[in-house]
Amino acid sequence: MIAEEQSDLARFQEFSLPTTPPATDFYLVDELLKPEEREVRDRVRAFADREIIPIAADHWERAEFPFEIIPKFRDLGLTGGPIVGYGSPGVSLVAAGLIAQELARGDSSLATFYGVHSGLAMGSVAILGSDEQRERWLPAMARLEKIGAFALTEPTHGSDSIALETSARRDGDSWVLRGKKKWIGNASFADLVVVWARDDDGNVGGFVVEKGTPGFTARVIEGKIAKRAVWQAEITLDGVRIPLENRLERARSFKDTAKVLTATRYAVAWEAIGHAMAAYEYALAYTQERKQFGKPLVSFQLVQDKLVGMLGDIVGMQLMCLRLSQLLDERKATQGMASLAKMLNCRKARRIVSDARDLLGGNGILLEHHVARHFADMEAIFTYEGTDHMQMLVVGKEICGVSAYK
Ligand SMILES: Cc1cc2nc3c(=O)[nH]c(=O)nc-3n(C[C@H](O)[C@H](O)[C@H](O)COP(=O)(O)OP(=O)(O)OC[C@H]3O[C@@H](n4cnc5c(N)ncnc54)[C@H](O)[C@@H]3O)c2cc1C
């Protein structure tokens, strides 16, 4: 009995020994990843450290998209993420989440460029295209020879995009598209834009508009305070004529559109972790270095309170996303689970980037210290792919059995 108690005590003491985990992996979540997921994470982290972070602030300030990075993304070999075949690597959804996290940890604008192309646009073709359409478009998209965009939101329909007004009229062997879209990432230079429009029967479908099609114009939205290095466009579709075979074969109603959004929403929750990790890491390093009242900032209790709160939230975000992606991989996740993670992680990350900005004092508003960029960019993430309210209402519907928004 005494020996058993002693061994329990020993285990407890062993458990309590101080460890030195990496700054943002306090609960050793890394050990829960499969080796191939860790490899993907490390590959993207190295890419972000080498190629993204050094150029991020400058492009952000100038509101310039760094086109020269596109071939480097191709060499990374991860475009299309979880898509199996067609030149994509078919990684797990945990690995796909880690890609989003690491890109966001580097820079939000480039995470969005990749998310729109690889997730929303390629995802639409992969989930809702016929075999022929997948063969036609996905391999070139995986090689980033063709860049994709996803055009759902309209100037007058954002949260209620289900009420979209863009029309697709059948005319002989063509579809003719008319309408306006807003906030469409990559659209000003994309080779393929998946436009969501309502057909003659009132059903929503996905229509692929290829670059150079007459009647399609895209105007880059200027004056943004977030994600300045990636371009969103306002699109006008004025009698855009596309062949019948450019309608995604399995996109027959808005429920199909929602399938793509559900399949990509989890990645936004992971993006939020990337921003939180970056902001926390910068704030920790800064407060260890910076001295006031003769002591490093980290030696003050109020500063420690902030850092501990940030790290605690990061641990919660990491565990939630890991479990969500595992459930997605096992096909057990619900829409509500993805929405809850997007909602909670964005709320927490928004607080963390704000606390980090505060801990850097005046330097917190300077782009050269990076936190300012994460602080501003987190505002856009809080809104896109469904606002905080809309995610909450999706979860509410799932648990209450009644929709409070339609
Ligand atoms: C940087 C950026 C990139 C984007 N990229 C793309 C893209 O590539 N493709 C694309 O199609 N779209 C894109 N979007 C659009 C994005 O998905 C929408 O901005 C988002 O869905 C919100 O729509 P909205 O901006 O029209 O806001 P609104 O819907 O007008 O919402 C304004 C406010 O009203 C609230 N609200 C609305 N309805 C309700 C309700 N029923 N109950 C309670 N509150 C409600 C919202 O929560 C929010 O707080 C992007 C947006 C941004 C900012």
The pLDDT profile of the chain, 406 residues, written as one tens digit per residue, is: 445 555 555 555 454 444 455 689 999 999 999 999 999 999 999 999 999 999 999 999 999 999 999 999 999 999 999 999 999 999 999 999 999 999 999 999 999 999 999 999 999 999 999 999 999 999 999 999 999 999 999 999 999 999 999 999 999 999 999 999 999 999 999 999 999 999 999 999 999 999 999 999 999 999 999 999 999 999 999 999 999 999 999 999 999 999 999 889 999 999 999 999 999 999 999 999 999 999 999 999 999 999 999 999 999 999 999 999 999 999 999 999 999 999 999 999 999 999 999 999 999 999 999 999 999 999 999 999 999 999 999 999 999 999 998 7
The pLDDT value given to residue 106: 97
CA of 153 to the centre of ligand 1 (A): 8
In degrees and rounded to multiples of 5, residue 350 shows phi and psi of: -60, -40
Give residue limits of the domains in the chain. Answer: 29-142, 148-246, 254-400
The pLDDT value given to residue 23: 82
Burial of 401 (0-12, 13-18, 19+ CB in 10 A): exposed
CA of 298 to the centre of ligand 1 (A): 38
SS3 247: strand
The pLDDT value given to residue 406: 77
Point out the ligand 1 atom lying closest to the alpha carbon of residue 149: 8
The pLDDT value given to residue 20: 53
Q: Which tokens sit at 58?
A: 């400058």
> What's the CATH number for 29-142?
1.10.540.10
* Residue labelled with tokens 């990337």: 274
Residue 155 to residues 20, 175, 201, 279, Cα–Cα distance (Å) = 50, 22, 23, 32
Ligand 1 mutation target, pool 166, 383, 391, most atoms within 8 A of CB: 383
* Residue labelled with tokens 């509500």: 336
CA of 332 to the centre of ligand 1 (A): 27
Residue type, 200: D
Residue 65 to residues 9, 70, 118, 174, 365, Cα–Cα distance (Å) = 57, 10, 17, 34, 22
Residue 387 gets which letter from DSSP? -
Q: Give the whole-angstrom CA distance, residue 285 versus residue 79.
A: 32
Point out the ligand 1 atom lying closest to the alpha carbon of residue 159: 29
CA of 347 to the centre of ligand 1 (A): 16
Across 2-35, b (16+ Cβ under 10 Å) vs e yields: eeeeeeeeeeeeeeeeeeeeeebeeeebeeebee
> What's the CATH number for 254-400?
1.20.140.10
Q: Which tokens sit at 262?
A: 């559900």
> What's the CATH number for 148-246?
2.40.110.10
Point out the ligand 1 atom lying closest to the alpha carbon of residue 226: 1
Going along 226-331, which residue ranges are E strands?
232-243, 291-292, 295-296
Q: Which tokens sit at 376?
A: 């501003």
For residue 87, give every residue at least 6 positions away whose Cβ sits within 8 Å of its Cβ, in sequence order, or none. 79, 80, 138, 139, 142, 143
In degrees and rounded to multiples of 5, residue 257 shows phi and psi of: -60, -45
Point out the ligand 1 atom lying closest to the alpha carbon of residue 186: 8
Cβ 397 vs Cβ 247: under 8 Å: no
Cβ 83 vs Cβ 122: under 8 Å: yes
Q: Which tokens sit at 396?
A: 């509410």
The pLDDT value given to residue 1: 44
In degrees and rounded to multiples of 5, residue 227 shows phi and psi of: 45, 50
For residue 210, give every residue at least 6 positions away whose Cβ sits within 8 Å of its Cβ, in sequence order, or none. 191, 192, 242, 246
SS3 220: strand
Residue type, 58: D
CA of 159 to the centre of ligand 1 (A): 5
Nearest residue (by CA) to ligand 1, atom 47, is 389
- Nearest one of 290, 176, 309, 285 to 237, comparing CA atoms: 176
Point out the ligand 1 atom lying closest to the alpha carbon of residue 230: 1
The pLDDT value given to residue 176: 98
Residue 148 to residues 60, 100, 113, 386, Cα–Cα distance (Å) = 22, 17, 9, 20
Nearest residue (by CA) to ligand 1, atom 16, is 384
| pLDDT, tens digit (0-9, with 9 covering 90-100), for 303-345 | 999 999 999 999 999 999 999 999 999 999 999 999 999 999 9
CA of 390 to the centre of ligand 1 (A): 9
Bridge partners of 296, per DSSP, are: 291
CA 383 to chain centre: 12
